[in-house]
Structure 1
């Protein structure tokens, strides 16, 4: 069954035939109370209105439920960017007694720092950590401390070498993530999906990456593939744009050129993959 499901996932038509389901292994189910706490965090009036408008593309309740993120967990978010998921995860974990780490290069943590300063009551318990670990700085996620590590739309950046002289450092990033997780801990990945039959060189420039590449990187680091969901799939995205994934919202790199067309397509077609660090 697992082999058959994986074959479907890698087939060109699979992103659209398996919507919102697990294809290889079941997610860790949340209890009704945990699911309710997560729904409350997503619905909180403290979230930025522009962020909530993107929930229909990013499906935070379903995505975090699939990854089995409990309010008591120690959760590391790798490269939180402008804090889209920080607005959800930090209060959700704080209220449940869990721990939230925002992990990024020093400069990449500036927006999270601004959130902490602007609203210490809501974000005062956020822990900042340096990732990748070659950067200067004392704060690290301790080895073997995380229940869950999450990263949203970032693996393609590591493949492109966006922060290290254009060199692919994805294997090193996965190795560092593997070390910070507890045995049995979960790695959850969402990223822009490149069709399996596309030229692999497009991973270096387009912002899209193949499911098979992400699986290879994770499994070479020691992870076991635990499941996939199509909750963040978008069949309208053909993944062949001249300006890469940034042609689509929210970037809209072409400005007003064909803007309505790209808005109608919406955000990119995305894989949602779950991995486990073996016990």
Structure 2
């Protein structure tokens, strides 16, 4: 069993851009006026909103421990970036429903590529039909589009799970810079950015980030700090020392994708899901803006 390990660091800098028309409930004024029960993260993990198949991945994604590390509270305004089919949304939406507010910044509505369009449509339909998702506000995000993920300086927390590598592979350093800029703009001073992604060993060439799906933790920290964030802490809650990050089809060689099919399947299943870094950044309370 893996146990969290924390480290701390700090630095300063600045960036900003974004906006949205939908105003959230202010967390300092939040009260349980909806007759919804305030629940714990443990109760959210076992909530009826969650599918059985998603629960099976808790062993690798450690959702309660990860969200506890980020410092989430039930009265927060939270932005989830690229929620996909809603794996984390199934936990976040019930947890925040009574007192908080969840923004789901999905793929842009203008994206007509079949995977992206269908994913957003399916998610939007669930927001309309699932009572546990009824209070979620659907916005959108693209790393170079000045995205309106939430009103400026409104969010207590922005969360992104295993997404940075997609933006880097598609747009390079500029894509990651654009993402961090949008996140910085949406957060309140003192707000938290939580980042999880597949970890590339530090002794590997930077060029490997362009094709493997793995990212260097030090590089991600540097990019976030250049955007104005301060690294508050890191955790090994999602670490997997059995993952060597040198597989034939990159991170997609491992579960759940298993891109090699039956070729060495038992071996890759035995490794489990990828080794991941988990980072907590903070937007400074005061800046030089």
Bucket of the pairwise TM-score, normalised by the shorter protein: 0.7 to 0.9
Residue aligned with 1:169, SS: helix
**In the alignment, which residue of structure 1 is the partner of 2:5?**
21
The structure 1 residue matched to 2:159, chosen from 131, 135, 150, is 150
The structure 1 residue matched to 2:122, chosen from 101, 111, 117, is 111
**In the alignment, which residue of structure 1 is the partner of 2:49?**
46
Q: Deviations over 1:236-265 (max 9, x none)?
A: 100001100000011111111111111111
**Alpha-carbon distance in 2 for matches of 1:136, 1:228:** 28
**Does the CA-based 8 Å contact 2:229-2:284 persist in structure 1?**
yes
The structure 2 residue matched to 1:236, chosen from 211, 222, 242, is 242
Residue aligned with 1:252, SS: coil
The structure 2 residue matched to 1:126, chosen from 130, 136, 141, is 136
**Alpha-carbon distance in 2 for matches of 1:111, 1:208:** 28
Judged with a 3 Å threshold, the aligned counterparts in structure 2 of structure 1 residues 48 and 273 are, in CA distance, closer, same or farther, namely: same
Aligned residues: 249
TM superposition score normalised by structure 2: 0.81
**In the alignment, which residue of structure 2 is the partner of 1:11?**
none
Gaps of at least 5 residues in structure 1 are 1-15, 26-34
Structure 1 residue ranges (4+ consecutive) displaced by more than 4 angstroms after TM superposition? 133-137
**In the alignment, which residue of structure 2 is the partner of 1:170?**
176
**In the alignment, which residue of structure 2 is the partner of 1:87?**
90
In the TM superposition, what is the alpha-carbon distance from 1:153 to its structure 2 partner? 0.3
TM superposition score normalised by structure 1: 0.84
Gaps of at least 5 residues in structure 2 are 10-37, 109-116
Q: Which has the higher contact order (CA 8 A, sep 6+)?
A: 2
Higher helix share: 1
Aligned pair 1:278/2:278, yes or no? no
Q: Deviations over 1:219-244 (max 9, x none)?
A: 00000000001010001100001100
Aligned pair 1:186/2:192, yes or no? yes
**Alpha-carbon distance in 2 for matches of 1:127, 1:197:** 41
